[in-house]
Amino acid sequence: AADGFEIIGTGGSITNKCNEIFLGNNGTALRFLTALVCLGRGRYILTGEKRLLERPVGPLVSALQNMGVAISCHDNCPPVEVMANGLKGGEITLTDIESSQYVSALLLCGPYTAKGIMLTLEGNIVSAPYIDLTIRVMNDFGAKIIISGKHQYTVGTQNIYTGREYYVEGDASSASYFFLAAALAKRTIRVQGVARKSAQGDIRLLAILEKLGCRVTDGETWVEVSADHDLAHGDMTFDMGDMPDMVPTAGVLAAYRKGRTMITNVAHLRIKESNRLAAMVTELNRIGINASELSDGLLVEGGAPHGADISTYNDHRIAMSFAVAGLITPDIKIADKKCVDKSFPEFWQELAKL
């Protein structure tokens, strides 16, 4: 398609043209493909870079084993090896999961299992808005999901996906760096292609910006953030369990605000592309900001950041967050700029427009 992509599906019949799939450091692809390849036939190995091999996938592997899949991993981490023979489905319970993508991966495969799935979630659930987003997209493509109680999902096999034309909204995570730029540089920036009414959890960063004194206006396909004075002062606490990918953005924001900022309910950031909590503490300290790890988050004392050479840990979100700080603080230099290519290859060109 001229302004998008045309995808020819296989109706749930997964071919096996290469038994080893190398995924770099892409945790999303790892989790989604771990479930997806189970619909195929034969041997699959999912592997990647050193950091990916340190990121847990055990709860998803266990759930698939309980459905009769011959699947294994190493100490709860990749490589994942699957001897696929279709996916039976059945009843699954996940408890205290560290990634909502385990849920999305299982739900997405549900219509193509032999007998459907009934998935129950217990305990702590991170990034819950992205489960709702998964269900919305599945419904849009013709699947039927029954939600019983608070966190019980049933996916039948009567309604499989049907092709259609589909508009994919812009990525709220990528937009956040320009919302941050508006707040720090005290200017007005409009981002096209996103909407405040989005189901994406990361759009909720706008509520934090408003609490800190920014003005937010929006239309059907754009969001504009304006700031013309210093960010609100004082001690504040933000539960970011529904938007954990916004923690680097919020951590940099906190560095420029007078007062103490506590970010909570994000312990699972230790298993992202980097150990994001440790990385944020190290790099905030490097620019002269007092920051420390909590058991489930960060504590940041706002101050007057200065320039420094920033390590990115091959983590796109660390790179982009500190790059925005470089708009207003001289001599902040980002190592390994190419790591942003994972999610936002045009980032540096867009940032230069500011």
Find the Cα–Cα–Cα–Cα dihedral 225, 244, 250, 53, rounded to 10°: -120
The residues, any chain, with a CB within 8 Å of residue 333's CB and separated by 6 or more, are 307, 308, 309, 310, 326
Look up residue 25 and give its two tokens: 């450091």
Q: What is the 3-state secondary structure (H, E, C) of the chain?
A: CCCCCCCCCCCCCCCCCCCEEECCCCHHHHHHHHHHHHHCEEEEEEECCCCHHHCCCHHHHHHHHHCCCEEEEECCEEEEEEEEECCCCEEEEEEEECCCHHHHHHHHHHHHCCCCEEEEEEEEECCCHHHHHHHHHHHHCCCCEEEECCCEEEECCCCCCCCCCCCCCCCHHHHHHHHHHHHHHCCEEEEECCCCCCCCHHHHHHHHHHHCCCEEEECCCEEEEECCCCCCCCCEEEECCCCHHHHHHHHHHHHCCCCEEEEECCHHHHHCCCCHHHHHHHHHHHCCCEEEEECCEEEEECCCCCCEEECCCCCHHHHHHHHHHCCCCCCEEECCHHHHHHCCCCHHHHHHCC
Rounded-to-integer distance, Cα 168 and Cα 192, Å: 13
Is 331 one of the annotated active-site residues of the chain? Answer: no
Tell me the backbone φ, ψ of residue 324, rounded to 5 degrees.
-65, -40
**Annotated catalytic residue within 245, 296, 315, 341:** 245
- Which residues are catalytic, by number? 245
